[in-house]
């Protein structure tokens, strides 16, 4: 009995130790998450986790929990133990008879009531502490309470904002200097990018980010503002510093402006803001052809893989499928949304998805068509980027034949209903070429010969439509005698004899023996060549198409489907040209003149006749007009050494707005010229020293004129061209 009681004590100790480890783990997780939210440092939070876990383990020491301590705890919790549970740890042989009886009694009581004794723990307190720490961390992170903005950022020599006084006529005072400057970039939450802080004023951030500036000076200033292209924002005074924040929606330039205590105005250099757009997801479908055709009897299943990538995470991906049933005006469409196989991991930057579509499950029948594409959206807020793949097609072949009919509309449909058959022959031929390695020689020849028969049937149909009567597509010939029939070549039906009677299909017969004078002006309905609704040009094209079908059939009969494909493609191209040129035309609606007044007809009086003339000059809009005007004005200022007027300042300001558009794309190239233009437009100092440099910068910003072909009457030698080029390079 003593061994059973001891086992109960050991089991209770293990449960007690497990709860101690859980207390340590829960408290450590809460503390490490709080540290992560405060520091936004993964490695630091992991290090803190191990440090706190080690400290807590050393303080609680779960591994040192002894059976004596467990026995003492049970004695205090269970009165029936009579403070004798320690007897269970001793051997029965070493106890007296009375002690053995007490040992058995305590063991029996402990076995019955051990489940009612609660293990001492502080799980509730640890859970509450961990929850509070995590909640505090989330609040600090959301409200940016522990942001690095509170850390003073002293600008370095290369990044310090330099202010220049606008009006040099005011009293000379010491300009306030920057004591602290930084820009905080808070990216959209869906990106998962932490807030970035820098002392550099040139900004490059994702669209939708929040940009915050903070400046502090070593002296008193007034009215600090941020000037951007087209707007001015007043900075907010807060704790001896000036701040402003805005949401980034476009690229541009900005500068700071403020006044000192003596009304002196100071302006900083220009800084660039470049906005990075959130790109749309990229969808790629693999493992399937864009067009798939199935026989009615075969298994109709489409399986494909889809790869979707995005720069900041994918939100949704699904398939939009449309099933079309019927034809003509009775066609019906059914659209449905399909999910991919497996679970879609939301937020992943790259997803590899699979899908299997069973056409039978979509209740598709012969002749039905399926169109589907993949659509994906990213995590962008508030409006996500959406992209879709190309459309893929699947059709169940229909063996029904279509008969030609004339529509009872404004025109006649001149095209037979089997134009699609040539395209289907091409598809089947390409499929046969791909399957050649997997087919036996006998099966391959049988399929190639069957395709040749289909090509022959299609050619005969067109021959009948052209008015031909025989299988060869030629006109009716006199009945052959028995002698001629015996000499008939057995391969004549499958070969293209250029010396035979079929030669007229290829070459137009220029020598006509019997030709009446009125023959070219008469439409002879008794002639099979004329018994068609086609014009002469369309008949010629259809004859060429039938000739190509001849050669395509020949190579299919010779089991050479690869050589047959070029002829099939040329035949299909000709058929498409015929189809497009034989469309139905509606009645043309034109000018309906007023009725003629017979009393004024042929009188020759023109008093009431009014003439009308309208002239309009259409020209291209001039690009960069203010830049060009500024270049000319600067040339005048350089030569005549005049001072800048208010009109010049307005002109330079407009030229700066035009140059800003190009400077956004190439800020390193035009930013200096843009800054100099701003000085000329706003600064009252003598800036004549930079006129040459500004003019050269504006000239380089103008696009090179497109070549204008013209006759060059002047002679230019190679040495003259080199001399002029050197003059341009070293001008001023």
* DSSP per residue, 165-221: ES-TTSPP-PPP-EEEEEEEEE--GGG-PPPEEES---EEEETTPEEEEEEEESS--
- Tell me which of 320-334, 415-429, 482-496, 530-544 is least confident: 482-496
Is the Cβ–Cβ distance between 166 and 682 less than 8 Å?
yes
Average pLDDT over residues 178-192: 89
In this prediction, residue 411 carries a pLDDT of 40
Residue 624 DSSP one-character state: S
pLDDT band of residue 512 (cuts 50, 70, 90) is very low
**Residue whose token pair is 């059976």:** 67
Is the Cβ–Cβ distance between 266 and 165 less than 8 Å?
yes
pLDDT band of residue 594 (cuts 50, 70, 90) is confident
Residue 568 CB partners (closer than 8 Å, separation 6+):
422, 425, 426, 429, 455, 548, 549, 552
Q: Do domains 148-276 and 282-396 have the same CATH topology?
A: yes
In this prediction, residue 691 carries a pLDDT of 84
- Tell me which of 168-182, 259-273, 381-395, 635-649 is least confident: 168-182
pLDDT of 372 over the 90 cut: yes
In this prediction, residue 316 carries a pLDDT of 93
pLDDT of 679 over the 60 cut: yes
pLDDT band of residue 491 (cuts 50, 70, 90) is very low
- Tell me which of 231-245, 284-298, 553-567, 660-674 is least confident: 660-674
How do the domains of the chain map onto residue ranges?
Answer: 2-142, 148-276, 282-396, 414-474+527-583, 625-704+719-729
Average pLDDT of the chain to the nearest whole number = 76
Q: What is the CATH number of domain 148-276?
A: 2.60.40.10
The rounded percent of the chain whose pLDDT value lies above 90 is 16
Considering only residues 196 and 414, tell me which one the structure prediction assigns the higher pLDDT. Answer: 196
Q: 63 burial class (0-12, 13-18, 19+ CB within 10 angstroms)?
A: exposed
Is the Cβ–Cβ distance between 226 and 178 less than 8 Å?
no
Average pLDDT over residues 661-675: 77
In this prediction, residue 523 carries a pLDDT of 46
Q: What share of the chain is helix, strand, coil (3-state, %, to 5)?
A: 40, 20, 40
Q: How far apart are CA 195 and CA 627, in angstroms?
A: 40
pLDDT band of residue 673 (cuts 50, 70, 90) is confident
Q: How far apart are CA 528 and CA 534, in angstroms?
A: 12
In this prediction, residue 593 carries a pLDDT of 67
The separation between the first and the last C-alpha atoms of the chain, rounded to the nearest angstrom, is 112
- CATH topology for the 282-396 domain: Immunoglobulin-like (2.60.40)
pLDDT of 150 over the 50 cut: no
pLDDT of 116 over the 80 cut: no
pLDDT tens readout for residues 250-276: 888 898 988 887 778 888 888 888 899
Instruction: Find which of 5-14, 369-378, 603-612 is predicted with most confidence, using mean pLDDT.
Output: 369-378
In this prediction, residue 599 carries a pLDDT of 78
pLDDT band of residue 469 (cuts 50, 70, 90) is low
Residue 63 DSSP one-character state: G
Torsion of CA 555, 556, 560, 565, to 10 degrees: 80
pLDDT band of residue 120 (cuts 50, 70, 90) is confident
In this prediction, residue 12 carries a pLDDT of 76
In this prediction, residue 516 carries a pLDDT of 46
pLDDT band of residue 518 (cuts 50, 70, 90) is very low
Considering only residues 584 and 672, tell me which one the structure prediction assigns the higher pLDDT. Answer: 672
Residue 86 CB partners (closer than 8 Å, separation 6+):
68, 71, 72, 75
Instruction: Find which of 110-124, 446-460, 599-613 is predicted with most confidence, using mean pLDDT.
Output: 446-460
- Tell me which of 233-242, 351-360, 512-521 is least confident: 512-521
Average pLDDT over residues 117-124: 78
DSSP letter string, 33-88: HHHHHHH--HHHHHHHHHHHHHHHHHHH-GGG--HHHHHHHHHHH-GGGTT-GGGG
Strands 241-247, 236-238: parallel, antiparallel or unpaired by DSSP?
A: antiparallel
pLDDT of 363 over the 80 cut: yes
pLDDT band of residue 488 (cuts 50, 70, 90) is very low
Q: How far apart are CA 72 and CA 85, in angstroms?
A: 8
Q: How far apart are CA 519 and CA 162, in angstroms?
A: 95
Closest by Cα among 570, 580, 577 to 546: 570
pLDDT of 581 over the 70 cut: no
The tokens for 650 are 């307005």
In this prediction, residue 3 carries a pLDDT of 63
The tokens for 284 are 């790629």
Is the Cβ–Cβ distance between 317 and 375 less than 8 Å?
yes
In this prediction, residue 307 carries a pLDDT of 94
pLDDT of 406 over the 90 cut: no
pLDDT tens readout for residues 70-98: 777 776 667 656 556 666 666 666 666 66
The tokens for 130 are 């961990």
pLDDT of 138 over the 80 cut: yes
Considering only residues 669 and 709, tell me which one the structure prediction assigns the higher pLDDT. Answer: 669
Is the Cβ–Cβ distance between 293 and 395 less than 8 Å?
yes
- How much is the pTM? 0.48
pLDDT band of residue 478 (cuts 50, 70, 90) is very low
Whether the ω angle into residue 382 lies within 30 degrees of 0, i.e. cis, is: yes
């Amino acid at each position: 009995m003593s061994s059973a009681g001891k086992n109960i004590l050991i089991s209770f100790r293990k449960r007690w130790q497990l709860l101690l480890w859980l207390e340590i783990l829960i408290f450590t997780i809460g503390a490490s998450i709080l540290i992560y939210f405060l520091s936004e440092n993964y490695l630091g939070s992991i290090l803190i986790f191990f440090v706190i876990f080690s400290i807590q383990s050393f303080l609680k020491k779960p591994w040192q929990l002894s059976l004596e301590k467990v026995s003492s705890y049970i004695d205090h919790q269970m009165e029936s133990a009579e403070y004798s549970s320690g007897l269970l740890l001793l051997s029965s042989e070493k106890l007296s008879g009375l002690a053995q009886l007490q040992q058995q009694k305590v063991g029996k009581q402990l076995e019955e009531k051990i489940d009612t004794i609660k293990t001492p723990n502080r799980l509730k307190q640890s859970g509450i502490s961990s929850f509070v720490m995590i909640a505090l961390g989330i609040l600090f992170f959301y409200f940016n309470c522990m942001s690095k903005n509170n850390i003073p950022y002293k600008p370095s020599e290369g990044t310090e904002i330099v202010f220049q006084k606008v009006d040099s006529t005011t009293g000379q005072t010491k300009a306030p200097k920057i004591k602290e400057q930084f820009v905080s970039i808070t990216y959209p939450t869906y990106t998962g990018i932490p807030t970035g802080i820098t002392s550099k004023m040139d900004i490059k951030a994702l669209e939708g980010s929040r940009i915050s500036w903070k400046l502090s000076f070593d002296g008193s200033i007034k009215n600090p503002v941020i000037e951007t292209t087209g707007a001015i924002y007043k900075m907010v005074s807060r704790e001896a510093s000036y701040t402003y924040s805005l949401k980034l929606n476009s690229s541009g330039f900005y500068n700071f402006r403020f006044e000192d205590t003596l009304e002196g105005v100071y302006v900083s250099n220009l800084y660039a803001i470049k906005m990075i757009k959130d790109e749309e997801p990229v969808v790629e479908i693999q493992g399937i052809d864009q067009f798939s055709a199935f026989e009615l009897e075969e298994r109709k299943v489409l399986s494909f893989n889809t790869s979707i990538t995005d720069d900041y995470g994918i939100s949704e991906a699904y398939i939009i499928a449309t099933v079309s049933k019927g034809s003509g005006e009775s066609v019906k469409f059914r659209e449905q949304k399909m999910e991919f196989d497996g679970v879609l991991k939301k937020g992943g930057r790259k997803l590899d998805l699979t899908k299997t579509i069973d056409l039978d499950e979509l209740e598709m029948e012969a002749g039905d068509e399926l169109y589907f594409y993949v659509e994906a959206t990213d995590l962008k807020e508030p409006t996500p980027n959406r992209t879709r793949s190309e459309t893929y097609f699947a059709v169940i072949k229909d063996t029904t034949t279509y008969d030609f009919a004339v529509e009872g509309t404004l025109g006649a449909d001149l095209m037979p209903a089997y134009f699609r058959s040539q395209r289907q022959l091409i598809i089947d031929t390409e499929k046969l070429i791909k399957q050649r390695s997997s087919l036996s020689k006998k099966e391959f020849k049988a399929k190639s010969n069957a395709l040749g028969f289909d090509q022959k049937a299609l050619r005969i149909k067109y021959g009948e439509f052209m008015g031909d009567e025989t299988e060869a597509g030629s006109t009716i010939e006199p009945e052959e005698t028995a002698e001629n029939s015996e000499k008939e070549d057995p391969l004549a039906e499958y070969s293209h004899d250029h010396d035979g009677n079929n030669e007229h299909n290829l070459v137009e017969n220029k020598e006509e023996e019997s030709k009446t004078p009125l023959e070219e002006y008469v439409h002879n309905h008794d002639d099979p060549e004329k018994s068609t609704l086609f014009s002469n040009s369309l008949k010629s094209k259809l004859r060429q198409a039938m000739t190509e079908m001849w050669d395509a059939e020949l190579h299919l009969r010779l089991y050479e489907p690869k050589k047959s494909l070029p002829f099939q493609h040329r035949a299909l191209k000709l058929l498409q040209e015929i189809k497009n040129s034989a469309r139905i035309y509606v009645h043309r609606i034109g000018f309906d003149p007023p009725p003629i007044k017979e009393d004024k007809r042929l009188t020759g009086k023109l008093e009431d006749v009014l003439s009308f003339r309208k002239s309009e000059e259409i020209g291209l809009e001039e690009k960069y007009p203010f830049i060009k005007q500024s270049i000319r004005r600067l040339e005048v200022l350089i030569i005549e050494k005049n001072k800048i007027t208010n009109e010049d300042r307005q002109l330079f300001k407009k030229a700066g707005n035009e140059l800003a558009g190009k400077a956004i794309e190439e800020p390193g190239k035009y930013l200096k010229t843009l800054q100099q233009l701003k000085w000329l437009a706003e600064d009252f100092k003598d800036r004549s020293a930079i006129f040459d440099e500004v003019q050269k910068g504006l000239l380089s910003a103008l696009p090179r004129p497109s070549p204008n072909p013209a006759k060059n009457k002047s002679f230019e030698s190679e040495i003259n061209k080199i001399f002029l080029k050197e003059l341009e390079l070293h001008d001023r």
